[in-house]
Amino acid sequence: MISKTVQEAINNQINKEIFSSYLYLSMAAYFEEKNLSGFAHWMRLQTNEENQHAMKFFDYLVDRGGRVNLGAIAAPRGDWATSLEAFQQVLEHEEKVTASINELYELAQKEKDFPTKILLQWFISEQVEEEKNASDIIQQLKMIEAHGTAVLMLDKQLGKRGG
């Protein structure tokens, strides 16, 4: 049986993962409006990935005999000045998620909850990838803005991301 403290923390993480999904869906809508369908595609895949993360935590709680308590999801931001600003928010958001996962890992360690630590190791590795992907796109967007070209090429590249 999972402790009430860890259960509550995982329920909070489910909320954060669903908010992440909602944020990326909002960004997809923004990019669709800007006629950048590749950027929108990338964000839609992020939306799906974040939903999968939430469900991974959801299923884990169920498997451990815990209770899933779903809270309200805050409304995400819906507009950005530039594509670069949107992806900078992606990176900032992923850094917050990383911090949250790390805090959850520390709690599991304190509670001597070894199964939760094992689950969280996957998420820790996943967050390294998430931050790197956002950072790489930010660097590309900065190069594009410095030279004023190639945003459509990056849009096409992002549109080829597999799910």
What are the structural domain ranges in the chain?
4-159
pTM: 0.89
Q: What confidence tens digit (pLDDT) does each residue in 5-61 have?
A: 999 999 999 999 999 999 999 999 999 999 999 999 999 999 999 999 999 999 999
Domain 4-159: give its CATH architecture: Up-down Bundle (1.20)
88 half-sphere exposure, CB direction, 13 A CA radius:
8
